[in-house]
Amino acid sequence: MKIGFIGLGIMGKPMVMNLLKAGHEILAFDIIKENVDIVVKAGAKAAESPAQVAKDCPLVITMLPNSPHVKTVVMGKNGVLEGAKPGLKLIDMSSIAPLASQEIAKACKEKGVRMLDAPVSGGEPKAMDGTLSIMCGGDQDLFNEVKPVLEIMGNSVVLCGTNGAGNTTKLANQIIVAGNIAVLAEALTLAKKAGVDPQTVFEAIKGGLAGSTVMNAKAPMMIASNFKPGFKIDLHIKDLNNAIDTAHGVGSPVPITVMVQEMFENLHFEGKGQHDHSGLAEYYAKISGTKIGD
């Protein structure tokens, strides 16, 4: 199948690589030429604009930073809807505000384009090995049609409801991930200050009730003081802002989320926004005077 892919950042590039390995023809676009060059070298073709991508492909996937970027790429000048023919399928795999997804889906419908919001969880490692969790919102028939493509990029592909439901599910996911990372950093800092090796603590508890995918992925990074980004603090700030705004809109209390967001914001203003979100360990190092790692 000929698939258009717009957005070739940390997540987009490996997702394209997996689609190429599965035998799909990819027409790619990104505002950063170096990103396009990488996927072209792997076998993709380059497009001049999102409009061209939509004109030449029956299925278009977007993977962009936030709501305004998706709106511009889809609804703006030289955007997807300018080049789209009726019947085009659009999968937005960005993590954006649910209301924005619904707005974009409405604009698509008016142009005869069917849209699925399908944000992902798993970060760069799972994007690379094609084992992302993909949370979808949209029409059941469209979901059934594109599910085989999504299963190339993820090993869990679930329709959560109508347009916007995928991004609502992703916000819930991001709240849980952020909270897990924060309490993990807190617990390992306690261990270090109490004179117990954090690696030993990790090995002792990871198989019990406290164990989690988050712990398995982030504890080794904290222990090694390795904050190379698989998912950046600045991106998690964006997701939690969307979560807090959505929660306020529906009257759902999120006090823990707000607390963790303040930790992330503190790190951002210290110039660490491009670090991995496991960098919450750096926040605890500052306030405790003790680093988890050496």
Catalytic residue numbers, as ranges: 170
CA pair distance 79, 36, nearest whole angstrom: 18
Neighbours of 46 (CB within 10 A): 15
Mention every residue, 6+ apart, whose C-beta is less than 8 A from residue 270.
Answer: none
The one-letter amino acid at 232: K
> Tokens 């712990």 sit at which residue?
215
User: Number of H helices and number of E strands within the chain?
Assistant: 14, 9
Mention every residue, 6+ apart, whose C-beta is less than 8 A from residue 208.
Answer: none
Rounded to whole angstroms, what are the CA distances from 153 to 117, 130, 146, 294?
A: 15, 4, 12, 36
Gyration radius of the chain's alpha carbons: 20
- Residue 70 has φ and ψ, to the nearest 5°, of -65, -40
